[in-house]
Structure formats: C-alpha cells, structure tokens
A and B are shown apart, each in its own frame.
Chain A
Amino acid sequence: MPELPELSADERSRYEWQLWVRGFGETGQRRLKATTVFVSRIGGVGGTVAMQLAAAGVGRLILAHAGELRLNDMNRQMLMSTDAVGEPRIAAAARRLREINPHVVVETISENVDETNAHRLTVGADVIVSAAPLFEERLQMNRQAVRRRVPLVDCSMYDLEARLLTVVPGHTPCLSCLIPESPPNWKREFPVFGAVASTIGSLAAMEVIKLAAGLGEPPKGRLLNLDLGSLTFASIAVARRADCPECASTLAPF
C-alpha cells in the first residue's frame, strides 16, 4: 500500500475542525488526501458533492459533465454563479472548487458517461459518485464500480424526496440489483428544489469521506429514502439479485 501523503501546516489549519472528529484525525485526513473521486454529473447534486469533498480536502476530483450551464440549473446549482450561465459548466465548477480549496487537484472532462467512455473516464477513481439524471449513465457507472471493485455512491431525487445508495462491490447489492433497466417513463427534467439536491449531495459527500477515511459504517445493503415533505428518513433493506447481470458473479455465494 502506498505511503499516505503528508499534510502541510496550511492544510492542518484548514481542516482543524474536522481533525477533531473522533475516529478521523490526521490519519483520516491523509487517507482522504490520497483519494481520487469521480463525480458525474455536476448538477445540483454532483456539484454539492464536489464542493463538500473539495472543502473537506479530498486529494483529486475528476468531474465529468458535457454542455453549458443553463439558467434553469440555477435554483439548485450552489457551486456556480449566474454570470457563468452559457459557459461550459465544468470550467465554472473547476474554477470555484479551486477557489474553495487550492490543495485539491481538480480534473475536468466535458463528456457525459456512456457505454463507450465509461471505462476510460473512471480510470483511477477510488470512489465513483453517480449523480446523473439519466439511468443509462448511472447504470454505466455502477458497472464500472462493480468491475473495478471500487465503491459507488448513487444519489437520486424527485420533488421533495431523495435517495442514497452506497454500493460496496462484493459486499452489497449494486444499483442494477434495484434498477435492472432504464425505466421507460422517466423524464429528464423533473420537479425539485435546490435544498433537496444539496441535502442528498451532502449526505453523499459524507459517505465518500467515510469510505475514504475508514470512518463510521457505510449503510451496507441499505437504501436511505428521505421525504423532506414529512421530514421522514427511512433506511430500507435491499437485497442482492441472484441473477443480477452486473454483480452476481462478483459476490460470495448466497
């Protein structure tokens, strides 16, 4: 196992409050610094994940998202500002992330994940964060995570609801166990508040920090379902599919 990177005096000062967190400390911070996280896309959810991970001091962020920032992204896009509307969003995101924390290496890819590029885009990632609005993209990221045996944190939302699934290949069900195919009725644009996107994005970032630092327990085999309308959080037991095309062959026998 490679040696963990050292922390500079500036980094120790920057992260002081979280270095006090029980079970994290300097070793946890150095583990986080040694971690590369792939995030796609960089919308209200992925942008929040990237922002929180940058502030927390993750070592390297690989951000993937094609296209320009649109005005109707701005109700949930905390990472970018209005003057960037019309610009490539990935450039605006990287600029702001470097302002938040210049210690983080930010790499950008102006592509969305698909079957042809998923392998190439996720090379080198220790954790994959799926925050895309299309199921094809999420299932491709899930496939890469399972094949590479790296964790996947999948985030989703609709209206006042949001869901979070952490996949630890070899130990938990994967996204394909729950969603075996792209649903035919899904609409690319849907009702949601930025506060819902930020909530689930922040929870996802915490999951990544936990996975990277070996902190706490990931919710293995649990789907977190948030209903912010009733302020109800439910932890739902999910099961592996014995015939899952993605993960069945990688798991221990039932």
Chain B
Amino acid sequence: MRLLVQYTAQLRTAVEKAEEEFELEGRSSLATLLARVASRLQAEATRHLLTPAGRLQPSLMVVLNSQVVSTREAESVLVKAGDVVTLMPPIAGG
C-alpha cells in the first residue's frame, strides 16, 4: 500500500523536499512507517526524528490525517493506503 509522508520545518529543510511516497506491506503500524522513513534519511534529517538511542524524538509531532498521534502509540496505530502522515519537529518564536 502507498502512503504519503510530508516533512515540515527543519525536517523539510534537511530532507530538501516537502513530501514523498512510501510503499508498505498491508497491516503495518505507524511505527513501521516511521522506521522506514528514518532508514531513508541522512543523519542531518534523522536527528529530528530519532534520539541518539534510536527512539522517536519525544517532541516530534506526528500527524496522521489531520490528527496528532502520540509517538508512544505508534506501535499500536495501524496505517492504511492513502494515509497522509505529517512529521512536525517543534519550532519556536523569535
């Protein structure tokens, strides 16, 4: 199944693209998708997604079809064909 991953803010800058498609096996979890995304990224981009220990950054907002999903629930949330997953690193004022 095909899903669309959108990159925002620092992640978009590091990846140098706004979005890309991913192909997953059926009945995959959000965690599986995020692991696939991480495996495709360069180190500069990966650090916005993962901690040095390889866990998801606690302050990364993961939006599944217009709803923020807790990264701690990523294992239990299933994704489906056509889903749009937006990755939003935290940003600030200035």
Residue of B13, B18, B67, B91 ringed by the most chain A CB atoms within 10 A: B91
The smallest beta-carbon distance between B60 and chain A, in angstroms, is 8
Decide yes or no whether B39 CB sits under 8 A from chain A.
Answer: no
Interface residue total, chain B, C-beta cutoff 8 A? 25
Decide yes or no whether A205 CB sits under 8 A from chain B.
Answer: no
Decide yes or no whether A138 CB sits under 8 A from chain B.
Answer: yes
Q: Could you say which residues of chain A place their CB within 8 Å of the CB of B70?
A: 239, 241
Q: Total contacts A to B, CB within 8 angstroms?
A: 98
- Whether A185 touches B48, Cβ cut-off 8 Å, given contacts A234-B66, A236-B67, A241-B70, is yes
Decide yes or no whether B9 CB sits under 8 A from chain A.
Answer: yes
Q: Which residue of B lies closest to A73 (CB)?
A: B94
Contact of A161 with B91 in the complex, beta carbons under 8 Å: yes
Decide yes or no whether A169 CB sits under 8 A from chain B.
Answer: no
Contact of A155 with B93 in the complex, beta carbons under 8 Å: yes
Interface residue total, chain A, C-beta cutoff 8 A? 47
- In-complex Cβ contact of A185 among B10, B61, B67, B93 (8 A): B10
- B contact set with A: CB distance below 8 Å: 8-10, 12-13, 18, 47-48, 51, 57-59, 61, 63, 66-68, 70, 88-94
Sample (26) of A-B pairs whose CB atoms are under 8 Å apart: A43-B94, A44-B94, A131-B94, A155-B93, A156-B90, A156-B92, A159-B13, A163-B91, A178-B61, A179-B59, A180-B58, A184-B51, A185-B47, A186-B92, A197-B94, A223-B61, A225-B88, A229-B18, A234-B66, A235-B66, A236-B67, A236-B68, A237-B66, A237-B68, A239-B67, A239-B70
Going nearest first, the 10 A-B pairs with the smallest beta carbon separation are A131-B93, A133-B94, A158-B91, A156-B91, A158-B9, A183-B59, A237-B67, A45-B93, A179-B59, A238-B68
